[in-house]
Structure 1
């Protein structure tokens, strides 16, 4: 199994057992998930997005995007945030069907995520267990971890918004919190991170248990229970 070993601690996590070489000259698959909420132990995946990427060439074709039938209602605040509605969930395919298509799409490529170690992978592992499926064995890079490794001076939570500001990326007009659109943002962040790795003479990412990633804080909107009518 190539997926990194992730150990969660209060407010942070570490990564072990992952080594990706030839970072600068490789074709990747950028991936992202949307869900009914942030808590990976109880929330349900609502959308997959994935797109090929190679440094210097940008995003490739084709891309992959599919809604997934959630096992619970989407809170109104999350509907508004993602644009994915409970009505759409009625017509969406079940997780096992979409997951099979997703695995076929990504092949054996190294995946690139943002905050995937603390959200995407735990969500996928739990869903696979619930459906009796095996999780893919692709190696997975996380822009949050890659950035943290080379910026020990940064004490902020390295969120997508933080990296957009840090790298001064223009995201105007992009439908944020859509899985495929967010793949495009992750790709731009990843390119900036790779540029920094090249400047430092780094062409590999090796997990180091001594380095800690600060976990995201669950936004208040996810903690508020829906008011009963």
Structure 2
């Protein structure tokens, strides 16, 4: 799979998943010290198995990861992950190997992973001398955009929560595993739309562009003393 970034959009090619409906997936999500994939550090992994129609109690994986840089105060407040917790957290290479063992060869599902999670993992794997996994990866943002060309908004998690009228009360947002649960519900809605349209495959198309997310101001504000 190849992801090509432009100033405010990106395209994907070299990916095909079929069938979509009758298979088991592994949904995953990362938390980090910030949004800029070129400089930020992973702080948490979350993953869970998912298949349409199965009970909500899924096999799951979650772990903190010792960041290579301090977590900004604003991000601590957003994620609930404190710098103190990093002192005892395992290093990236240890957690990544556990994660790869958990996901096996399943097709992965993420949200905005083409522009955040995958590039972050690729950079970290290079940094730690690890081999990047080769699993196929579906992104709910791309899947939604492909069937909704009329939508001009940035297709964020919040956008899809409102679009599908999902109740997230009581869910700890920006916790990697709990966000996997939200992604699962979004993915269920997207799969239902694909089924209604009689489409049982996702094939990447370099002619279709996804809008990149805008980095929030909180991530661009330097910590005091920097």
Shorter-chain TM-score: which interval? over 0.9
Give the TM-score, by structure 1 length. Answer: 0.97
Report what 1:135 is aligned to. Answer: 132
Report what 1:182 is aligned to. Answer: 179
Query: What is the CA-CA distance between 1:176 and the residue it aligns to?
Result: 0.1
- Give the counterpart of 1:163 among 160, 164, 187: 160
Task: Give the secondary structure class of the aligned counterpart of 1:46.
Answer: strand
Give the TM-score, by structure 2 length. Answer: 0.99
- Unaligned segments of structure 1, at least 5 residues: none
Task: Give the secondary structure class of the aligned counterpart of 1:78.
Answer: helix
Q: How many residues align?
A: 226
Report what 1:42 is aligned to. Answer: 39
Say if 1:104 and 1:59 are closer, same or farther in 2 by CA, change over 3 A: farther
Pairs within 5 Å for 1:9-24: 9-24=6-21
Task: Give the secondary structure class of the aligned counterpart of 2:167.
Answer: coil
- Give the counterpart of 1:94 among 76, 91, 96: 91
Which contiguous aligned blocks of 4+ residues in structure 1 show a shift greater than 6 angstroms? none
- Give the counterpart of 1:55 among 52, 57, 77: 52
- Give the counterpart of 2:222 among 220, 225, 228: 225
Deviation per CA, 1:179-221, whole angstroms, max 9, x where unpaired?
Answer: 0000000000000000000000000000000000000000000
Task: Give the secondary structure class of the aligned counterpart of 2:17.
Answer: strand
2:63 paired with 1:69: no
Alpha-carbon RMSD across the aligned residues, in angstroms, is: 0.9
Q: Counterparts of 2:218 and 2:133 in 1: how far apart (Å)?
A: 32
Q: Counterparts of 2:163 and 2:57 in 1: how far apart (Å)?
A: 25
Q: Counterparts of 1:216 and 1:59 in 2: how far apart (Å)?
A: 30
